[in-house]
Amino acid sequence: EQINKGNYEHYMQKEIHEQPESLKTTMRGRLIRGGSCKAKTVLLGGLKDHFKTIRRSRRIVFIGCGTSYNAALAARPILEELSGVPVTMEIASDLLDRQGPIYREDTAVFVSQSGETADTLQALEYALENGALCVGITNTVGSAIARHTHCGVHINAGAEIGVASTKAYTSQIVVMAMLALAIGGDTISSQTRREAIIDGLFDLPNKVREVLNLDQEMKDLAKLLVAEQSLLVFGRGYNYATALEGALKVKEVALMHSEGILAGEMKHGPLALVDENLPIIVIATRDSCFSKQQSVIQQLHARKGRVIVMCSKGEAVSVCPGGLGRVIEVPHVEDCLQPVINVVPLQLLAYHLTVLRGYNVDQPRNLAKSVTTQ
Ligand code: G6P
């Protein structure tokens, strides 16, 4: 039944709209919010015997490909903040190309929807040889990565059929946010922060349901952009990953050139591309990077850029001085969970662009769901 399209035309569409439920399944039994005197905590059974080692490790290295890499990148800031352990990122193929350093004192976290991606699997073998503690985060029970890692967490997002990953992405971020909470343990100094995140996680499926109401608006935006050759997405901080992932979706399925750009790097190159034709989505939801993104928007307007801003609900005025440009308003959530919300309109945009451009949504040309050869 789960691999039926139901009332949807495509698996990708179904999987995008399924996210309130898939996120609930991911969190089921793992978030504990007791009575008034009981602390709020996270339970990740598959890791319970390993937290001591993880907390003592020299660094946490995330390793993955494609969307799974982007999910880890989205979770990196909260892991750095709560774990107190340095967190680095590796694209599996690049780690292998460089034979980059992996130490016995490292915790290497392998993120993979399928659990079968050849590059990630080979990086796992490499990390095992180097003696690191290897943790798997996959959506596939019994997959090679799940079997060969020392311990791990299943994301339980349900079968994902569309080649472009959508619901697995949001579930991966949520699992890694829970991982950050669990590694952070019961440190007093971050208790308020941790509890706010846990409350935010409980409410996240509702907020995702709310952001899915933008479907028609994103379809209208897709109509406007359907004939474009290129689309840039600017993000930073928690939402640098959202920019990369949004651009990857557009590239993968709509077969339109798209690039996710770290907004802090704008003046070091991308600014040269700005003119009145090239559409640029700027993610400027409310967080500690907000004022920097406001200034990016101003600089883009000053160069007559064609700007579309994603902002928190009710903040259109502060991101669109003088009503310039188009706005996508999304519900505001805890900063580290905002990437889960912000990616949804971009998934919808990629989906509608693909349908309007007449391409194959669920099986984009030249791509495979699981790349099991190198
Ligand atoms: C392929 C898929 C992508 C996916 C990537 C990593 O390229 O088309 O959607 O993100 O592999 O897959 P994994 O199963 O390891 O997450």
The ipTM (two decimal places) reads: 0.96
Locate the ligand 1 atom nearest the alpha carbon of residue 367 and give its number.
Answer: 8
CB 123 within 8 A of CB 151: no
Q: Name all residues whose Cβ lies below 6 A of ligand 1.
A: 65-68, 112-114, 117, 120, 163-165, 367, 369-371
The span from the CA of 279 to the CA of 233, in Å, is 9
Looking at ligand 1, which residue's alpha carbon is closest to its atom 15?
112
The span from the CA of 123 to the CA of 100, in Å, is 10
Locate the ligand 1 atom nearest the alpha carbon of residue 164 and give its number.
Answer: 9
145 CA from centroid of ligand 1 (Å): 13
Q: Which residue has the tokens 């200034």?
A: 295
Looking at ligand 1, which residue's alpha carbon is closest to its atom 8?
369
65 CA from centroid of ligand 1 (Å): 6
233 CA from centroid of ligand 1 (Å): 21
**Model confidence over 123-172: pLDDT tens digits?**
999 999 999 999 999 999 999 999 999 999 999 999 999 999 999 999 99
Q: Look up residue 93 and give its amino acid.
A: S
Of 265, 271, 268, 283, which is closest to residue 342 (Cα–Cα)?
A: 283
Specify the pLDDT at position 4: 87
Q: Which of 73, 114, 366 best tests ligand 1's pocket when mutated (most atoms within 8 Å of CB)?
A: 114
For residue 199, pLDDT over 60 is answered with: yes
Specify the pLDDT at position 1: 44
164 CA from centroid of ligand 1 (Å): 8
**Model confidence over 4-36: pLDDT tens digits?**
898 999 999 999 999 999 999 999 999 988 765
For residue 2, pLDDT over 90 is answered with: no
**Model confidence over 303-327: pLDDT tens digits?**
999 999 999 999 998 888 777 789 9
Locate the ligand 1 atom nearest the alpha carbon of residue 252 and give its number.
Answer: 8
For residue 38, pLDDT over 70 is answered with: no
348 CA from centroid of ligand 1 (Å): 19
Name the DSSP letter for residue 28. Answer: T
